[in-house]
Amino acid sequence: MFCPFCGKHMSTLTRFCFTFGRCFEFLKDADQTETPGMSRPPDRAKQAEQPCPSYKRFMEYRNLKSNERQSCNYGPKGRYKPKERKQVQINVGVMVPHGSDLKPLRGKTLPLFTDPDVAAPDLLKHAVEKIRTFNKDMPEGPYVLLYPDCSEVDYVPGSDRPFKLSEYKKEIGKAYARITFFICLEKHYKRVDDTSDSDFDSEIVITTRSTAEFNQADSLVFEPQNQSTPKLKLEDERDAPRHSSTIQPGQITISDDEDLDPPETGPENTSCYSKYTDLYSPNVEQENEEPIAVNVNNFQHTAMEETDITLPDIVANLSLPIDHKMVSRFNISRANVWDGAVRGFKRTTYSETCDMLVKFTDDTGVLEEGLDTGGPRREFLTLLMKHLKDRPIFDGP
């Protein structure tokens, strides 16, 4: 028989269940109420025909718990767990024309959450929706997606593979949060692209015919003593349209016959070098050598006034127009002093009549604290003078 409460199999009928501890007295009362003379089916057959309600509930409970445990068990390291698509954050901005170039518009950069395997058209669509959602003054487009160097996003830079955000992130070596793309109106991008293409055209040099001939002539500028070429042949060659062979492509030659005197028939003007010797001959003018009266007393008085001024006096006179209540800020990185100085001088808030407030930063951007403002300013000016000596601005033309 089986226990009606826990389903435990028992060989004989006992008063209590060995496992569950419930009493079986009600089973004996049920056996006595059966009519005599009727054959009672075996206990196993009766249990199969009409299972006990407690046993049925127990089996349902066990199957339910088994299914719950199987649904929560995914194996080692979540092998059977479905992977969710993770969104990454990048930045999108707006580029506007600035002269003949494109320049990012400040204050328009927004974060964008997108899929790592997104392609260029989908990324452009999401970027335009994001920008136009927070900027109602943006036109409808069409737009193009640009890299920070103003090139269009079609392929992964340095390869022929179509653009994917994950591959671009792998090539550039930056985190997703530091990647920035820009959108620009297609008409603005094409106009800037056409302007940049025209800059690479061959430049046109406008020069006179005599200068073009002189550039193609030999280095000999004097007339040779022994000339074997006939004069008529030289005149024919000079008058013939042979100048097209000496003019380089991209040059416009202007005739200078009106600027020169009419040719003479003398033998000294028949050579092809005589014109250049006359043209490039030095023009020496007679100088006026009349004596000029100089007041020696006034000159000595002026010299004495200049020599009496000391260096501290000069510095004090130069510092008089400086307004010490106003400052021009300079954030200088020790890795590149020149770029920080140029950026500070190009600020719209910079003025030569304001005091200079200089702060140094290291390579990681951490500010260096100073006891006063005079020390960093003197150090900055000293380093700037050292960099100026190495700049090519003093090399001349």
pLDDT for 60-98, tens place per residue? 989 998 888 887 766 565 555 556 778 899 999 999 888
Which residues, in sequence order, are CB contacts of 119 under 8 Å at separation 6+? Answer: 162, 163, 164
Does an H or E element contain 182, and which? strand 180-185
Q: Which residues contact 156 (CB under 8 A, 6 or more apart)?
A: 162, 163, 164, 167, 168, 171
Give residue-wise pLDDT tens across range 370-391: 666 778 888 888 988 888 887 7
Rounded distance, CA 34 to CA 41, Å? Answer: 12
Residue type for position 130:
K
DSSP string spanning 196-210? Answer: HHHHTSPPPEEEEHH
Predicted confidence (pLDDT) at residue 303 exceeds the cutoff of 50: no
**Could you tell me the two tokens for 312?**
């501290």
End-to-end CA distance of the chain: 115
Name the band, by pLDDT with cuts 50, 70 and 90, for residue 301. Answer: low
Cis peptide before 142 (omega within 30 of 0): yes
Q: Please give the backbone phi and psi of residue 162, each rounded to the nearest 5 degrees, phi first.
A: -60, 150
Q: Which residues contact 386 (CB under 8 A, 6 or more apart)?
A: none
SS3 content of the chain, % helix, strand, coil (to 5): 40, 15, 45
Which residues contact residue 186 at a Cβ distance below 8 angstroms, ignoring those fewer than 6 apart? 141, 142, 143, 144
> Which has more confidence, 201 or 317?
317
The Cα 246–Cα 221 span in angstroms is: 18
CATH fold of 88-196 reads Ubiquitin-like (UB roll) (3.10.20)
Q: Which residue spans of the chain are classified as CATH 3.10.20?
A: 88-196
Give the residue, 225 or 163, on which the prediction is more confident. 163
Strands 180-185, 88-98: pairing kind: parallel
Alpha-helix runs per DSSP H in the chain: 25-32, 43-49, 53-72, 120-134, 165-172, 186-199, 209-216, 231-239, 274-279, 296-308, 311-318, 337-345, 374-390
- Band of pLDDT at residue 211, cut at 50, 70 and 90: low
Can you give the length of the chain in residues?
397
CB 347 within 8 A of CB 354: no
Kindly tell me if the per-residue pLDDT of 351 is higher than 60.
yes
Q: Supply the pTM of this predicted model.
A: 0.35
